[in-house]
């Protein structure tokens, strides 16, 4: 169990001791609260990570790199090599068809 899980478990026990009715209308209040709090915490982390990524792109731009191209490269690296090859082949074919 991670430290976060242990902290959540301890917090859960504390809330259960304070809350005389752990179930309302068949809903496990403590479990629902735990899920919501975990999602909120992850959303905060996502927001912080998005800010970090924005800062890195700003750094790249100030170093003279084209951010749009960097984003394209990142997108390509996520794909399978066969998929990239197929897209490049189609792009080349379409360009030739249009006389580009």
Global pTM reads 0.61
Digit-coded pLDDT (tens) for 28-74:
888 999 999 999 999 999 999 999 999 999 999 999 999 999 999 99
Bridge partner residues of 24 (DSSP): 27
CB atoms near residue 23 (< 10 Å): 11
pLDDT at 17 exceeding the cut of 70: no
Question: Residue 67: how many CB atoms within 10 A of its CB?
Answer: 13
Contact between 76 and 88 under an 8 Å Cβ cutoff? The reply is no
Q: Which residue has the tokens 């197929």?
A: 86
Give the Cα separation of 50 and 85 in Å (integer): 30
């Amino acid at each position: 169990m991670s430290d976060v899980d242990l902290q959540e478990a301890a917090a859960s026990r504390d809330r259960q001791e304070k809350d005389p009715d752990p179930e309302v209308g068949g809903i496990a209040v403590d479990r629902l609260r735990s899920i919501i709090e975990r999602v909120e915490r992850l959303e905060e982390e996502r927001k912080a990570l998005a800010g970090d990524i924005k800062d890195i792109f700003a750094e790249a731009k100030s170093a003279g790199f084209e951010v749009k191209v960097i984003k394209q490269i990142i997108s390509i690296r996520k794909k399978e090599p066969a998929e990239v090859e197929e897209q490049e082949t189609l792009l080349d074919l379409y360009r030739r068809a249009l006389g580009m």
